[in-house]
Amino acid sequence: MSVQLTLCRLCIRSRPEFLRALANLAATYPDDLIVQELDCMAACDEVPAIMVETDFYPQVSPSDLVALVREHLAPPVADRKP
Ligand code: FES
């Protein structure tokens, strides 16, 4: 099951810890995570904000990002039981 993550590229550009968390998620879920980067997601007062599918989350930390995406995804392939 894939999950769409939407975020503002302008707001995350200056947050290296957020970019690292995003890169780790993309590497862990290469076939299941769809990242859509917008120039602004109209949440400039609540950055960094993300959307997972249609759910909006304001003021997200890198660990929040990882937890929210994992909640919506199946376990990574390496962790799946036969
Ligand atoms: S510029 Fe990032 S949410 Fe508006």
Determine, yes or no, domain membership for 19.
yes
Q: What is the pLDDT of residue 79?
A: 65
Q: What is the pLDDT of residue 74?
A: 66
49 CA: nearest ligand 1 atom? 3
Determine, yes or no, domain membership for 81.
no
CATH of the domain at 32: 3.40.30.10
Determine, yes or no, domain membership for 16.
yes
Which phi-psi region, left, alpha or beta, contains residue 68 (left: φ > 0; alpha: ψ -120 to 50)? alpha
Q: What is the pLDDT of residue 38?
A: 97
**Domain count along the chain:** 1
23 is in which domain, residue-wise?
Answer: 3-76
40 CA: nearest ligand 1 atom? 4
Residue range 18-77, pLDDT digits in tens: 999 999 999 999 999 999 999 999 999 999 999 999 999 999 999 999 999 999 886 655
Q: With the CA atoms of 53, 54, 57 and 63 taken in that order, what torsion angle do they form, in degrees rounded to the nearest 10?
A: -10
For ligand 1, say whether the CB of 38 is within 6 Å of any of its atoms. no
User: Between these two residues, 14 and 75, which has the higher pLDDT value?
Assistant: 14
